[in-house]
Amino acid sequence: MLLNKFFINVLIRVTFIVLTSVVLGIVLQHLDRGYYYTLTGMIFLIVFQAYMLVNQVNKTNGDLEKFFSSVQDHDSSVRFSENAKNNSFRKLHDRMNYLNTIIQNVKIENERTSHFLQSVVDHVDIGLLSFDMNGKIEIYNRAAKRYLNVQEPRQLSSLKTMNDEIFKIINTIKPGQEILHKMGIDNLLQSILVKATELKFESNVIKLVSFQDITNELDKKELDSWQRLIRVLTHEIMNSISPITSLTTVISGYFKKKDDENPVPLEKIDHQIVSKTLSGLNTIEETGKGLLDFVDKYRSLTSLPKPNLSKFTIDSLFLNCKLLMESNISNNIKIIASVYPEDIAIEADYAQVEQILINLIKNAIEALSDKKNGTIHLKAFYADDGTLIQVEDNGIGISSDIIEDIFVPFYTTKENGSGIGLSLSKQIMQNHDGTISVNSALNKGSKFTLKFQL
């Protein structure tokens, strides 16, 4: 509507200029009759009309330039007069003022939202630090000040002079990675979990790093783990010590009188007593060997070598595990392997990862012993923040009341099980900065998932 009025206004002025020019042309043909004053008037009228046209266009351009400049400078306080005599200017100014009011309201709302988000960020106990590719710090909340002991840093490099170790962690941590770092806070040694993620905005990449004090959680988890471990160790040791104690009491009773510390005379020691004594000593020896074997297995858990990293494809790992295990399984069980994409590779200790898979496949075989159509499915695929390897079976599953204990050293429900296979697997994955988890239901099967960081 405003453009139509402006167009009509300009059209009228141009039309008058053209008509005046036509009249001027006619006057020029009759100069010999002395129309000099008329000629002067016509020329003045044309110049005046041209001036008014240019002035109106410039006025509109000036207002538009002023408006767009204010928008560009984020200045919504500029106001245009709505009392202009020209109706089109009055409407144009009214629309510009309305747009400025909208921009001002949006700006106020953005500032209110920004202030609210900043308050939320400052309120949380987790330290948050974000910076762009040039090291310019965008977010730095109160908790981060406590962890990093720096008040108002503008550049990431300013953290280096205060805490070189944490500066290296922030610089080198990868998106999705978690690093447990010990640092002194308020004169106490605290366990800080450092995590990172990346946010992409067009060509700019923002790295967000969080710092969380998990000392209390770790202490509770450690205490719980110790209690469960001690419970299992106590059970195993008592199972070995109790028979030895009972047998030594029985054997000693063969060689001393009842209610008397004096030994039995040699002539009363017959072949039967000697035979029982030898049998008892043999039992003590076997029980002692079992206890030594138990201690040796415990030592193997505490002296696991560091991973010897090498890059290999998961497809070749699955193929080797299938060749090793298929000759030891019955016809009612089949092993299926699928890798997508086929060229997935990880950097890990090949022998240790193979050891985990073989142990999980053995457990799956035992779970499928009474299954007619048993299936063990080996899978590998990419997740958002890592590479996943899964061993899934359709066996008897694991009950919910024991699933939390299956990774505890020496915990086992098998008659001849050692109880170190899964705990050893968990330690191997921790040494690889990875995780092992299980999802299972009775009579539906189990799925163990190994997660390696990208």
**Per-residue model confidence (pLDDT) at position 344:** 92
For residues 250 and 280, the answer to whether their CB atoms sit within 8 Å is yes
Q: Which of 134-148, 275-289, 377-391, 398-412 has the highest mean pLDDT?
A: 377-391
**Is residue 46 pLDDT above 80, yes or no?**
no
**pLDDT value, residue 31:** 60
Tell me if 124-213 shares its fold with 218-302. Answer: no
pLDDT at position 2 over 50: no
Given this model, what pLDDT does residue 71 score? 62
> Which of 214-218, 228-232, 283-287, 357-361 reaches the highest mean pLDDT?
357-361
Q: 232 by DSSP, 3-state: which?
A: helix
Q: What CATH number matches the domain at 310-453, 3.40.50.970, 3.30.365.10, 2.60.120.10, 3.30.565.10?
A: 3.30.565.10
CATH numeric code, 218-302? 1.10.287
- Give the DSSP letter string of 249-305: HHHHHHTB-TT--SBPPGGG--HHHHHHHHHHHHHHHHHHHHHHHHHHHHHHHHTPP
Assess whether pLDDT exceeds 80 at residue 382.
yes
* Average confidence (pLDDT) over 220-241: 68
Residue 190 pLDDT > 70, yes or no?
A: yes
Q: Which residue has the higher pLDDT, 283 or 131?
A: 131
**pLDDT band for position 63 (50/70/90)?**
low
Token duo for residue 203: 């060509």
Among 52-66, 84-98, 138-152, 224-238, the minimum mean pLDDT is found in 84-98
pLDDT tens-digit readout, 400-410: 777 877 877 66
Domain boundaries, the chain: 2-108, 124-213, 218-302, 310-453
Task: Quote the pLDDT of residue 257.
Answer: 67
- CA dist 348 → 334, 354, 452 (Å): 27, 10, 9
Going by CATH, does the domain composed of 124-213 fall within 3.30.450.20?
yes
Decide if 96 contacts 84 (C-beta within 8 A). no
**3-class SS letters over 120-158:** HHHHCCCEEEEECCCCEEEEECHHHHHHHCCCCCCEHHH
Give whichever of 66-70, 127-131, 215-219 has the largest mean pLDDT.
Answer: 127-131
Residue bearing the bigger pLDDT, 195 or 234: 195
Give percent of the chain above pLDDT 70: 70
Report whether pLDDT(428) > 60.
Answer: yes
In the prediction, which pLDDT does 236 show? 65
pLDDT at position 283 over 50: yes
Confidence (pLDDT) at 223: 63
pLDDT band at 451 (very low <50, low <70, confident <90, very high): very high
When pLDDT is averaged across residues 412-440 and rounded to a whole number, the result is: 79
Write the pLDDT tens digit of every residue in 304-335.
778 889 999 999 999 888 888 876 777 888 88
Gap between the Cα atoms of 341 and 58, Å rounded: 65
- CA proximity to 428, closest of 448, 411, 445: 448
Residue 451 pairs in a beta bridge with: 388, 435
Q: Radius of gyration over alpha carbons of the chain, in Å?
A: 43
Predicted local confidence at residue 447, as pLDDT: 93
Element (H, E) at 220: helix 215-254
| Residue-wise pLDDT tens digits, 6-26 | 566 667 777 777 777 776 666
Average pLDDT over all residues of the chain: 76
How confident is the model over 335-377, as pLDDT tens digits? 899 999 988 999 999 988 998 898 899 888 888 887 788 899 9
Specify the residue for token string 């969380």: 212
Residue 78 has pLDDT above 70, yes or no: no
Can you give the length of the chain in residues? Answer: 454
